[in-house]
A and B are shown apart, each in its own frame.
Chain A
Amino acid sequence: MRQAGAYSGLLSGGIGARTGPHSLPLARIKKIMKRSASGSTAAGDEVRMISGEAPIVFSKACELFVEELTRRAWAVTVRGKRRTLHKDDVAAAIAATDIFDFLVELVSESNGNSSGGSGRVLS
Protein backbone atom coordinates (compact mmCIF):
# COMPACT_ATOMS: atom_id res chain seq x y z
CA MET A 1 0.00 0.00 0.00
CA ARG A 2 1.30 3.38 -0.88
CA GLN A 3 2.22 5.53 2.05
CA ALA A 4 2.07 9.27 1.97
CA GLY A 5 4.93 10.86 3.77
CA ALA A 6 8.28 12.45 3.50
CA TYR A 7 9.11 11.07 0.14
CA SER A 8 5.82 11.16 -1.66
CA GLY A 9 5.92 14.69 -2.94
CA LEU A 10 9.57 14.94 -3.64
CA LEU A 11 9.69 13.70 -7.16
CA SER A 12 7.02 14.13 -9.76
CA GLY A 13 4.67 11.27 -9.28
CA GLY A 14 6.25 10.30 -6.00
CA ILE A 15 7.75 6.96 -5.19
CA GLY A 16 5.35 5.25 -2.85
CA ALA A 17 5.06 1.54 -3.23
CA ARG A 18 7.74 0.28 -5.58
CA THR A 19 8.01 2.91 -8.26
CA GLY A 20 4.54 4.32 -7.81
CA PRO A 21 1.17 3.31 -9.20
CA HIS A 22 1.43 5.26 -12.43
CA SER A 23 4.98 4.65 -13.46
CA LEU A 24 5.96 2.65 -16.50
CA PRO A 25 5.76 -1.15 -16.25
CA LEU A 26 9.11 -2.60 -15.25
CA ALA A 27 8.52 -5.96 -16.90
CA ARG A 28 7.88 -4.28 -20.23
CA ILE A 29 11.01 -2.18 -19.89
CA LYS A 30 13.01 -5.28 -19.11
CA LYS A 31 11.65 -7.02 -22.21
CA ILE A 32 12.68 -4.16 -24.43
CA MET A 33 16.12 -4.07 -22.83
CA LYS A 34 16.56 -7.79 -23.38
CA ARG A 35 15.65 -7.50 -27.01
CA SER A 36 18.20 -4.77 -27.41
CA ALA A 37 20.93 -6.56 -25.49
CA SER A 38 20.52 -9.87 -27.26
CA GLY A 39 20.26 -8.19 -30.63
CA SER A 40 23.72 -6.69 -30.36
CA THR A 41 25.32 -9.83 -28.98
CA ALA A 42 27.09 -12.06 -31.47
CA ALA A 43 26.15 -15.71 -31.58
CA GLY A 44 27.98 -17.56 -28.85
CA ASP A 45 28.19 -14.61 -26.48
CA GLU A 46 26.42 -14.99 -23.23
CA VAL A 47 23.06 -13.38 -22.81
CA ARG A 48 23.27 -10.28 -20.73
CA MET A 49 21.51 -10.29 -17.40
CA ILE A 50 19.76 -7.19 -16.22
CA SER A 51 19.91 -6.01 -12.65
CA GLY A 52 16.67 -5.26 -10.88
CA GLU A 53 17.49 -1.61 -10.61
CA ALA A 54 18.18 -0.96 -14.26
CA PRO A 55 14.49 -0.98 -15.30
CA ILE A 56 13.73 1.26 -12.37
CA VAL A 57 16.18 3.83 -13.64
CA PHE A 58 14.58 3.55 -17.06
CA SER A 59 11.07 3.98 -15.71
CA LYS A 60 12.04 7.42 -14.53
CA ALA A 61 14.33 8.15 -17.47
CA CYS A 62 11.55 7.44 -19.94
CA GLU A 63 9.34 9.91 -18.13
CA LEU A 64 12.02 12.55 -18.44
CA PHE A 65 12.48 11.61 -22.07
CA VAL A 66 8.78 11.83 -22.92
CA GLU A 67 8.50 15.13 -21.09
CA GLU A 68 11.44 16.63 -22.95
CA LEU A 69 10.37 15.38 -26.36
CA THR A 70 6.81 16.56 -25.76
CA ARG A 71 7.89 20.01 -24.61
CA ARG A 72 10.08 20.46 -27.66
CA ALA A 73 7.41 19.20 -30.01
CA TRP A 74 4.83 21.48 -28.44
CA ALA A 75 7.13 24.44 -29.01
CA VAL A 76 6.96 23.64 -32.71
CA THR A 77 3.17 23.40 -32.49
CA VAL A 78 2.95 26.79 -30.84
CA ARG A 79 5.24 28.34 -33.43
CA GLY A 80 2.82 27.07 -36.04
CA LYS A 81 -0.01 28.71 -34.12
CA ARG A 82 -1.75 25.41 -33.67
CA ARG A 83 -3.18 23.64 -30.66
CA THR A 84 -2.89 20.06 -31.78
CA LEU A 85 0.45 18.34 -31.47
CA HIS A 86 1.14 16.31 -34.59
CA LYS A 87 3.71 13.75 -35.55
CA ASP A 88 5.41 16.36 -37.75
CA ASP A 89 5.98 18.50 -34.69
CA VAL A 90 7.66 15.56 -33.00
CA ALA A 91 9.78 14.99 -36.11
CA ALA A 92 10.78 18.65 -36.18
CA ALA A 93 11.77 18.56 -32.53
CA ILE A 94 13.87 15.46 -33.18
CA ALA A 95 15.58 17.09 -36.13
CA ALA A 96 16.38 20.17 -34.06
CA THR A 97 17.88 18.30 -31.11
CA ASP A 98 21.28 16.67 -31.38
CA ILE A 99 20.75 14.06 -28.72
CA PHE A 100 17.62 12.89 -30.52
CA ASP A 101 19.56 12.02 -33.67
CA PHE A 102 19.01 8.32 -32.98
CA LEU A 103 15.31 8.92 -33.62
CA VAL A 104 15.61 10.54 -37.02
CA GLU A 105 15.17 7.33 -38.92
CA LEU A 106 12.24 6.28 -36.78
CA VAL A 107 10.16 9.34 -37.63
CA SER A 108 11.13 9.41 -41.27
CA GLU A 109 9.65 5.99 -41.94
CA SER A 110 6.51 6.71 -43.86
CA ASN A 111 4.62 3.53 -43.17
CA GLY A 112 4.91 1.06 -40.31
CA ASN A 113 8.22 -0.31 -39.06
CA SER A 114 10.92 -2.21 -40.81
CA SER A 115 11.46 -4.62 -37.92
CA GLY A 116 8.39 -6.68 -38.59
CA GLY A 117 5.38 -7.72 -36.72
CA SER A 118 3.57 -4.55 -35.92
CA GLY A 119 1.61 -3.80 -39.03
CA ARG A 120 0.98 -0.32 -37.70
CA VAL A 121 0.07 2.42 -40.05
CA LEU A 122 1.24 5.87 -39.20
CA SER A 123 -0.44 8.51 -41.21
Chain B
Amino acid sequence: MVGGGGGAAADRDANSIKSAAAPEVREQDRFMPIANVIRIMRRVLPAYAKISDDAKETIQECVSEYISFITGEANERCQREQRKTITADDVLWAMSKLGFDDYVHPLALYLRQYRQLEGGDHRLPIVIKPPPPHAPQNFAAVPNPNANANAVPAMQQYQMHQYLGHDAYGNGTVGGYYAARGVFGGPDHESGGSSSSQLFPAAMQAMPNFDHPFGFK
Protein backbone atom coordinates (compact mmCIF):
# COMPACT_ATOMS: atom_id res chain seq x y z
CA MET B 1 0.00 0.00 0.00
CA VAL B 2 1.42 3.29 -0.99
CA GLY B 3 1.40 5.79 1.84
CA GLY B 4 0.56 9.29 0.73
CA GLY B 5 0.16 10.93 4.11
CA GLY B 6 -2.89 11.54 6.23
CA GLY B 7 -4.60 13.81 3.78
CA ALA B 8 -4.45 11.37 0.93
CA ALA B 9 -5.66 8.51 3.06
CA ALA B 10 -8.60 10.54 4.33
CA ASP B 11 -9.50 11.51 0.81
CA ARG B 12 -9.39 7.95 -0.26
CA ASP B 13 -11.64 6.89 2.57
CA ALA B 14 -14.09 9.64 1.85
CA ASN B 15 -14.24 8.81 -1.82
CA SER B 16 -14.72 5.16 -1.08
CA ILE B 17 -13.73 2.43 -3.40
CA LYS B 18 -14.01 3.93 -6.83
CA SER B 19 -11.01 6.19 -6.43
CA ALA B 20 -9.11 4.11 -3.94
CA ALA B 21 -6.40 3.47 -6.47
CA ALA B 22 -5.99 7.13 -7.42
CA PRO B 23 -2.68 8.55 -6.21
CA GLU B 24 -2.65 12.00 -4.74
CA VAL B 25 -0.71 13.40 -7.64
CA ARG B 26 -0.66 11.82 -11.04
CA GLU B 27 2.74 10.54 -11.95
CA GLN B 28 2.75 12.44 -15.20
CA ASP B 29 2.32 15.67 -13.28
CA ARG B 30 5.37 15.09 -11.15
CA PHE B 31 7.91 14.66 -13.90
CA MET B 32 8.98 16.09 -17.19
CA PRO B 33 7.86 14.02 -20.18
CA ILE B 34 10.36 11.27 -20.62
CA ALA B 35 10.58 11.84 -24.38
CA ASN B 36 11.83 15.36 -23.77
CA VAL B 37 14.36 14.13 -21.24
CA ILE B 38 15.67 11.49 -23.63
CA ARG B 39 15.95 14.02 -26.43
CA ILE B 40 18.07 16.29 -24.28
CA MET B 41 20.27 13.40 -23.19
CA ARG B 42 20.88 12.36 -26.75
CA ARG B 43 22.22 15.80 -27.57
CA VAL B 44 25.28 15.16 -25.48
CA LEU B 45 25.76 11.47 -26.17
CA PRO B 46 27.45 9.87 -29.16
CA ALA B 47 25.13 8.26 -31.67
CA TYR B 48 26.07 4.74 -30.68
CA ALA B 49 25.35 5.27 -26.99
CA LYS B 50 22.50 3.36 -25.43
CA ILE B 51 20.51 4.46 -22.44
CA SER B 52 18.93 1.99 -20.06
CA ASP B 53 15.35 2.56 -18.99
CA ASP B 54 16.31 2.96 -15.37
CA ALA B 55 18.81 5.66 -16.30
CA LYS B 56 16.13 7.55 -18.23
CA GLU B 57 13.69 7.36 -15.35
CA THR B 58 16.34 8.32 -12.84
CA ILE B 59 17.29 11.44 -14.73
CA GLN B 60 13.61 12.23 -15.21
CA GLU B 61 13.20 12.15 -11.44
CA CYS B 62 16.37 14.15 -10.91
CA VAL B 63 14.96 16.96 -13.02
CA SER B 64 11.90 17.28 -10.81
CA GLU B 65 14.08 17.16 -7.74
CA TYR B 66 16.22 19.91 -9.22
CA ILE B 67 13.20 22.13 -9.82
CA SER B 68 11.97 21.53 -6.27
CA PHE B 69 15.40 22.13 -4.80
CA ILE B 70 15.92 25.46 -6.53
CA THR B 71 12.33 26.56 -6.03
CA GLY B 72 12.52 25.82 -2.32
CA GLU B 73 15.46 28.16 -1.94
CA ALA B 74 13.85 30.82 -4.13
CA ASN B 75 10.65 30.51 -2.12
CA GLU B 76 12.50 31.03 1.15
CA ARG B 77 14.01 34.18 -0.21
CA CYS B 78 10.56 35.47 -1.10
CA GLN B 79 9.33 34.64 2.37
CA ARG B 80 12.22 36.46 3.99
CA GLU B 81 11.65 39.49 1.82
CA GLN B 82 7.89 39.22 2.23
CA ARG B 83 7.18 39.01 -1.45
CA LYS B 84 4.35 36.95 -2.81
CA THR B 85 5.70 36.05 -6.19
CA ILE B 86 8.63 33.88 -7.10
CA THR B 87 10.29 35.64 -9.99
CA ALA B 88 12.86 34.65 -12.58
CA ASP B 89 15.34 36.67 -10.60
CA ASP B 90 14.65 34.60 -7.50
CA VAL B 91 15.21 31.44 -9.49
CA LEU B 92 18.51 32.68 -10.87
CA TRP B 93 19.60 33.86 -7.43
CA ALA B 94 18.79 30.46 -5.93
CA MET B 95 20.74 28.69 -8.66
CA SER B 96 23.76 30.78 -7.99
CA LYS B 97 23.49 30.24 -4.26
CA LEU B 98 23.15 26.49 -4.64
CA GLY B 99 26.21 26.11 -6.83
CA PHE B 100 24.72 26.34 -10.30
CA ASP B 101 26.24 29.71 -11.06
CA ASP B 102 27.62 28.42 -14.35
CA TYR B 103 24.03 28.29 -15.55
CA VAL B 104 23.20 31.85 -14.65
CA HIS B 105 24.75 33.63 -17.58
CA PRO B 106 23.28 31.43 -20.32
CA LEU B 107 19.94 31.57 -18.55
CA ALA B 108 20.00 35.33 -18.26
CA LEU B 109 20.82 35.49 -21.93
CA TYR B 110 17.98 33.12 -22.77
CA LEU B 111 15.56 35.14 -20.69
CA ARG B 112 16.55 38.38 -22.33
CA GLN B 113 16.15 36.92 -25.79
CA TYR B 114 12.77 35.56 -24.79
CA ARG B 115 11.71 38.97 -23.60
CA GLN B 116 12.85 40.60 -26.80
CA LEU B 117 10.83 38.19 -28.86
CA GLU B 118 7.77 38.11 -26.68
CA GLY B 119 7.84 41.52 -25.12
CA GLY B 120 5.92 43.27 -27.85
CA ASP B 121 2.68 41.76 -26.61
CA HIS B 122 2.22 42.96 -23.12
CA ARG B 123 5.33 42.66 -21.11
CA LEU B 124 7.24 45.66 -22.39
CA PRO B 125 5.08 48.72 -22.42
CA ILE B 126 6.18 51.41 -24.79
CA VAL B 127 5.80 54.86 -23.41
CA ILE B 128 5.75 57.72 -25.81
CA LYS B 129 6.09 60.96 -24.00
CA PRO B 130 4.48 63.95 -25.55
CA PRO B 131 6.87 66.69 -26.54
CA PRO B 132 7.45 69.38 -23.96
CA PRO B 133 5.54 72.56 -24.47
CA HIS B 134 7.18 74.42 -27.22
CA ALA B 135 7.65 78.06 -26.32
CA PRO B 136 9.12 79.27 -29.60
CA GLN B 137 6.32 77.80 -31.62
CA ASN B 138 4.68 80.47 -33.62
CA PHE B 139 0.99 80.10 -33.15
CA ALA B 140 0.40 83.37 -34.75
CA ALA B 141 1.40 81.95 -38.07
CA VAL B 142 -1.25 80.79 -40.46
CA PRO B 143 -2.16 77.33 -39.27
CA ASN B 144 -1.11 74.67 -41.70
CA PRO B 145 -4.20 72.60 -42.41
CA ASN B 146 -2.43 69.38 -43.19
CA ALA B 147 -0.03 69.77 -40.27
CA ASN B 148 2.58 67.63 -41.97
CA ALA B 149 5.16 70.33 -41.72
CA ASN B 150 5.02 70.01 -37.98
CA ALA B 151 4.89 66.29 -37.88
CA VAL B 152 8.50 65.49 -38.60
CA PRO B 153 10.19 67.83 -36.15
CA ALA B 154 7.61 66.94 -33.54
CA MET B 155 8.52 63.27 -33.92
CA GLN B 156 12.10 63.96 -33.08
CA GLN B 157 11.11 65.17 -29.68
CA TYR B 158 9.46 61.93 -28.77
CA GLN B 159 11.41 59.65 -26.62
CA MET B 160 10.69 56.03 -26.81
CA HIS B 161 11.20 54.31 -23.56
CA GLN B 162 11.26 50.63 -23.14
CA TYR B 163 11.09 49.44 -19.66
CA LEU B 164 10.12 46.40 -17.80
CA GLY B 165 8.44 48.09 -14.88
CA HIS B 166 9.30 46.31 -11.70
CA ASP B 167 11.10 43.65 -13.58
CA ALA B 168 12.32 40.27 -12.69
CA TYR B 169 15.76 41.46 -11.73
CA GLY B 170 14.51 43.36 -8.76
CA ASN B 171 15.16 46.71 -10.33
CA GLY B 172 12.58 49.37 -10.63
CA THR B 173 13.32 50.74 -14.05
CA VAL B 174 14.48 50.09 -17.52
CA GLY B 175 15.43 46.44 -17.39
CA GLY B 176 17.88 46.87 -14.57
CA TYR B 177 21.22 45.25 -15.24
CA TYR B 178 20.78 44.92 -18.95
CA ALA B 179 19.35 48.32 -19.68
CA ALA B 180 22.13 49.99 -17.82
CA ARG B 181 24.47 48.35 -20.26
CA GLY B 182 22.53 49.53 -23.23
CA VAL B 183 21.13 46.23 -24.32
CA PHE B 184 17.58 47.43 -24.51
CA GLY B 185 18.67 50.79 -25.68
CA GLY B 186 17.81 52.37 -22.36
CA PRO B 187 16.39 55.80 -21.90
CA ASP B 188 19.22 57.32 -23.85
CA HIS B 189 18.41 55.43 -26.96
CA GLU B 190 17.78 57.59 -29.93
CA SER B 191 15.22 56.34 -32.30
CA GLY B 192 16.91 58.45 -34.93
CA GLY B 193 13.71 59.80 -36.30
CA SER B 194 12.67 56.39 -37.46
CA SER B 195 9.07 55.43 -37.49
CA SER B 196 7.34 54.81 -34.23
CA SER B 197 6.24 51.42 -35.41
CA GLN B 198 9.75 50.14 -34.91
CA LEU B 199 9.38 48.84 -31.41
CA PHE B 200 12.80 47.57 -30.43
CA PRO B 201 15.25 49.11 -32.82
CA ALA B 202 18.28 48.56 -30.61
CA ALA B 203 17.31 45.10 -29.59
CA MET B 204 16.59 43.89 -33.06
CA GLN B 205 19.64 45.33 -34.67
CA ALA B 206 22.44 45.01 -32.22
CA MET B 207 23.98 41.89 -30.88
CA PRO B 208 24.75 42.86 -27.34
CA ASN B 209 28.14 42.46 -25.79
CA PHE B 210 28.06 39.70 -23.25
CA ASP B 211 31.37 40.34 -21.65
CA HIS B 212 29.86 41.83 -18.56
CA PRO B 213 29.85 39.56 -15.57
CA PHE B 214 26.46 38.89 -14.18
CA GLY B 215 26.75 40.32 -10.74
CA PHE B 216 24.42 39.32 -7.98
CA LYS B 217 23.71 41.00 -4.74
Contact = CB atoms under 8 A, between A and B. Distances in A.
Interface of A: 6-7, 10-12, 15, 18-19, 22-25, 28-29, 31-33, 35-37, 39-41, 45-46, 48-51, 53-54, 56-58, 60-67, 69-71, 73-74, 77, 83-87, 89-91, 94, 98-99, 102-103, 106-107, 113, 115-120, 122-123
Contacts of A107: 58, 62
A102 B149 CA distance: 68
A117 B27 contact: yes
A40 B80 CA distance: 13
A90 B86 contact: no
Contact of B99 (A15, A58, A99): A99
Interface of B: 2-5, 8, 23-27, 29-33, 36-37, 39-41, 43-45, 48-52, 54-55, 57-59, 61-72, 74-76, 78-79, 84-88, 90-92, 95, 98-100, 103, 106-107, 109-111, 113-118, 168, 204
Contacts of B26: 117
Contacts of B33: 24-25, 28
A6 B116 CA distance: 12
A74 to B, nearest CB: 6
Contacts of A66: 37, 40-41, 59, 63
Given A24-B32, A66-B59, A56 B66 contact: no
B59 A54 contact: no
B109 A102 contact: no
A35 B68 contact: yes
A106 B118 contact: no
Nearest to B99: A99
Contacts of B4: 115-117
Nearest to B85: A49
A64 B86 contact: no
11 contacts: A15-B114, A36-B68, A37-B86, A40-B76, A56-B88, A61-B91, A70-B45, A90-B59, A113-B61, A117-B8, A117-B27
Q: Which of A24, A57, A58 has the most CB of B within 10 A?
A: A57
B44 A74 contact: yes
A60 B27 CA distance: 22
